[in-house]
Structure 1
Amino acid sequence: MACATTIPFFERGLVVVNEQPRPYGSLDELTSQLADVQTDVYCIDPVTNRQTALVTAGSLLDQIANRDMIELIQHGEFESHLQPIVHLDTGERFGYEALLRSRNDISPGQLFQAANRFGLHSKLDQRARAEAIKATYHAVLPHEKTFINFLPSTIYNPDYCLQHTFEVIDRYDLSPDRFIFEVVETEKVQDVAHLQHVFSTYKKRGMKVALDDVGAGFSTLDMLKRLEPDYVKIDRSYISFCDQDTEKRAFLKNVRQLTRTMGITLLAEGIERAEEVDVCRELGFDLAQGYYFGKPAPYAL
């Protein structure tokens, strides 16, 4: 399977139905032609001889109806917004988390939902990593780090699929140790061996790795030993109002003790109140992020 599928749209060309080519002069005309078709079809650009993938007529109609979103994911303008991450003991900035944003204000949730629907999640994930690297070049100081999210399900073959990311880092002449690649949706990861391979590929190139949202599925000693993350981020559900919840504080204390014995840097995310800062600092957390320290914001070139 390709790391970054592309869906082309031919404004005019031939649609092949039951091995019979039918010419069309516009996407509206193509839509009309496919209205009653039940079989698999594909389109041909007679000028370049390019072809689309073989899909059901219904799937092609769905792609045409949503082509603005598909084109945005594939070729539209994106940028990274940067949210500060600080040292809890000193309050000094450690670095940022880079978060993908669309220039036309479509939410990240909508973007990734559409990308999953049309098989473009690898493409969007790849573009998000590239924008984060670009933001690091323009706006992050050399001694600071950048956390970059990735979905392990989009990286089918790490040795091949991550080459684009490494090439972007090389293009900007950035040191690999400035980046921390953070796996999201950790509670949904089924193939731990695959995630180990992804982590290993990043580490071999001199980068660090992090688990996000710990508390939902990766807080066991066995799992942390298998994955060996450099950083662990505690889910905000355990941070929110932890000063008023003894069970949350007990959980945070246990995680701090566990990660300290393993040499893992611990980060509290989603901090919004001074009382939460105090609890995490008292428990010995290393890093923190959240609206209390700053919201994600665009950077200036």
Structure 2
Amino acid sequence: MDFTMAFQPIVDVSSGAVWAHEALVRGTAGQGAGWVLGQVTDATRYAFDQSCRVKAIELASTLPMNGARLSINFLPNAVYKAEACIRTTLAAARRTGFPTDRIVFEVTENERVVDHDHLKSIFNEYKRQGFLTAIDDFGSGYSGLNLLAEFQPDIIKLDMELTRSIDTERARRSIVKAILSVCEDLAITPIAEGIETADEAKTLRDLGVTLMQGYLFAKPAFEAVVTDPELSMLAA
């Protein structure tokens, strides 16, 4: 299956710098992630997962990352043994000269993980190898805070279902405050994703969130990175 990547920035609103670029799978003619993922079967899951990592690293190594991190989504159910399955990633990083300490591995909370011990072992191995680890779409999936009781990633990404309209909805603010308190206690870095309005961004910044991602700042760029995301709307 032929595919490529688009990249969407994760912005540090406190400094205006791009903190990371998330690699998002796309068809070679620009088709969305759903179109590509819809062609993945149980038989091809492992090969697809491995190919995504390599494609993201190879493309990122040719783009003006300017020291920003590269965030890669992985399929935990495609990893049969973490130390074996990471070899291709390490080889791609060495071949392209991309620093492994600038790679973040995201696992979506929406993908049901049958064996949490297995996922914990993956995260532990990735940390041992020097990668950062993240739970994507936090607050929208199967496990919620229970997932953090079993293992702690470096990062959690607050799902847009929590951040949407957070400036006007008290319940969402209260829930996010509680999650941020847990993050602080466990030394986990929060990222707010799906940000579409300046009021959402300002409310989250007031709550202490400085890393954000969403259409407000930049849409995913096809086989390219956005080095100057829009931040003027956050000016005091």
- Same fold per superposition (TM over 0.5): yes
Amino acid at match of 2:96: Y
Q: 1:228 to 1:169 in 2, by over 3 A?
A: same
Task: Tell me how far apart the structure 2 counterparts of residues 190 and 286 of structure 1 sit (CA, whole Å).
Answer: 33
Alignment of 1:121-140 (within 5 A): 121-140=45-64
Q: 1:286 to 1:226 in 2, by over 3 A?
A: farther
Q: Which residue of 1 aligns with 2:17?
A: 92
1:254 to 165, 178, 182: 178
The CA deviation at 1:300 is 5.0
Q: Is the 2:7–2:224 contact (alpha carbons within 8 Å) kept by the matching residues of 1?
A: no
- Which of 208, 217, 220 is the matching residue for 1:293? 217
* Aligned ranges 1:189-204 → 2 under 5 Å: 189-204=113-128
| 2:61 counterpart SS class | helix
Deviation track 1:227-279 (CA, whole Å, cap 9, x = no partner) reads: 22000000101111111111101011111111011111100000000010011
- Indicate whether 1:146 and 2:64 are aligned: no
Shift of the alpha carbon at 1:152?
A: 0.1
| Contact in 2 for aligned 1:187/1:218 (Cα 8 Å) | no
Shift of residue 283 of structure 1? 0.5
Residue 165 (structure 1) aligns with: 89
Q: What is the aligned partner in structure 2 of residue 105 from structure 1?
A: 30
Please give the alpha-carbon distance, in whole angstroms, between the structure 1 residues aligned to 2:5 and 2:71.
Answer: 11
AA partner of residue 114 (structure 1)? Q
- What is the correspondence of 1:228-247 to structure 2 with a 5 Å cutoff? 228-247=152-171
Give SS of 1:115's match. coil
2:97 partner letter: D
- What is the CA–CA distance in structure 2 between the aligned matches of 1:275 and 1:113, rounded to whole Å? 35
Pair 1:83 & 2:8 matched: yes
Equivalent-residue separation in structure 2 for 1:107 and 1:291 (angstroms): 16
- Counterparts of 2:13 and 2:184, CA distance in 1: 15
What's the counterpart of residue 271 of structure 1? 195
Deviations 1:121-161 (A, max 9, x none): 22222111111111221114352111100110011121212
What letter is aligned with 1:100? V
Give the CA deviation at 1:204: 1.4
Cα displacement (A) at 1:102: 1.5
Partner of 1:25: none
Letter in 2 for 1:230: D
Tell me whether 1:215 sits opposite 2:158 in the alignment: no
1:108 Cα deviation from its structure 2 partner: 2.0
Question: Within 2, Cα distance between the matches of 1:110 and 1:81?
Answer: 14
Q: Which runs of 4+ in 1 moved over 4 A?
A: none
Between the aligned partners of 1:193 and 1:300, the Cα distance in structure 2 is 36
Q: Does the 8 Å contact 1:271/1:292 carry over to 2?
A: yes
- Root-mean-square deviation (CA, aligned residues, Å) is 1.8
Report the TM-score when normalising by structure 2.
0.88
CA distance, structure 1, for counterparts of residue 49 and residue 111 of structure 2:
18
Q: How do 1:38-49 residues align onto structure 2 when only pairs under 5 Å count?
A: none
Give distance in 2, aligned partners of 1:144 and 1:107.
24
Report the equivalent of 1:66: none
Alpha-carbon distance in structure 1 between the residues aligned to 2:224 and 2:84: 33
Give the 3-state SS of the residue equivalent to 2:217 in structure 1. Answer: coil
Gaps of 5+ in 1: 1-72
After TM superposition, give the deviation of residue 188 of structure 1 in Å: 1.7
